[in-house]
Structure 1
């Protein structure tokens, strides 16, 4: 299952702790790291059982679940830049006076007002979540949308893709399968998104690729590999060093 699928299908409690449990392993919802049960893991001269080691992994690789979630695109969190900054400071344990001084806005009563507004947003989110859960039980005609990848830079109508659409478009542009050549570069944004997502399957997570190797892999897919590379970055699938010398899959 795709990392994003695990992420979006997780319960609230699973998202809060940052990992899910399967029969034989724990899987990090933030990067897909799998920790097998029944194995003792070593970290800084200390040995840990699998679940404790998964928590250590999250702390060392992602700092915290909060830091990872608050760093997601605003289209995924629903937060403005202002709200994001406030929440970061609140999470650091700063008082209203300290937050006001750091942000240079209004007074401490202004910060208390922002706290109240965020609590109101939380209540609205809970209500909306309950409504959608109840709707899910009754709405038999709702299409099964493919979850957006967590590293998407801007989530909009392009991401309104059903599983059936994904199959049809993949077959149209990659008739030989996901490991075959691209017949032509899709002209529409939604089509591009689907095909680019399929192309990412050619790369290994947690691996750094030099530019030459990235180009060689993409050239086996499509002659204009520079175009594919640019769109993979634009859509938030690939990350690279500022000088373009190294590339890797975004998590």
Structure 2
């Protein structure tokens, strides 16, 4: 079976499902959450206590796992109880992770060439953005370049975000706003806390 023919009851293309699956598991804390839920369903508070994490951080990790279809939640009084979706894990391992499918996961070389051309055109020798391109596709290449300066699973104040963005361009407001609008970073409430989301626009 070729990868492009693979389907789960999900509207996403198979490649996007697989990418989401790997990203969800590519974190030590989320793997530990999977391990805890494999033992029994757990509340956010219990998971937080077991791993020594804040409730907000635990909720963020559970949200990533939920988006990948790996966990589900049910209400139980005032608490949300999370369970491991073992059927999803089985589907992914049995139907997607087949050796004959993996070669088709290689990214298109054309896209790599395009990104290199954009970076060469708009980034100077010191790694700073010389100008913002009008074409959105090119601008997204620059945003993905910039977001790599932020560590995953780390929260930043707006001041810290601006200090990092200033390394790339004086217009920190546009960069900060664009990173959030294109879901490369998220912010809490009025923007007091920011964190990298690692979503691919």
Into which bin does the TM-score normalised by the smaller protein fall? 0.5 to 0.7
SS of equivalent to 1:222 = coil
Distance 1:58 1:167 in 2: 42
Distance 1:225 1:64 in 2: 28
Match for residue 111 of structure 2 among 153, 159, 162: 162
Q: From the CA coordinates, give the structure whose radius of gyration is larger.
A: 1
Are residues 65 and 215 of structure 1, via their aligned partners in 2, closer, same or farther at CA, if it must alter by over 3 Å?
closer
User: Larger relative CO (CA 8 A, sep 6+): 1 or 2?
Assistant: 2
Alignment match, 1:172: 121
Number of aligned residue pairs: give it: 140
Match for residue 187 of structure 1 among 134, 141, 145: 134
- Displacement of 1:184: 0.5
Is the CA contact 1:58–1:64 (under 8 Å) kept in the aligned structure 2?
Answer: no
Distance 2:158 2:64 in 1: 31
Is the CA contact 1:207–1:248 (under 8 Å) kept in the aligned structure 2?
Answer: yes
Distance 1:229 1:64 in 2: 23
- The answer to whether 1:32 aligns with 2:31 is no
- Displacement of 1:222: 0.6
Task: Encode CA deviations 1:34-85: one digit per residue, 9 max, x unaligned.
Answer: 48xxxxxxxxxxxxxxxx84632677554488722259xxxxxxxxxxxxxx
Q: Which sections of structure 2, spanning at least 5 residues, go unmatched?
A: 1-13, 39-46, 48-57, 75-94, 96-100
Are residues 222 and 58 of structure 1, via their aligned partners in 2, closer, same or farther at CA, if it must alter by over 3 Å?
farther
Distance 2:63 2:185 in 1: 23
SS of equivalent to 1:198 = helix
Taking structure 1 as the reference length, the TM-score comes to 0.44
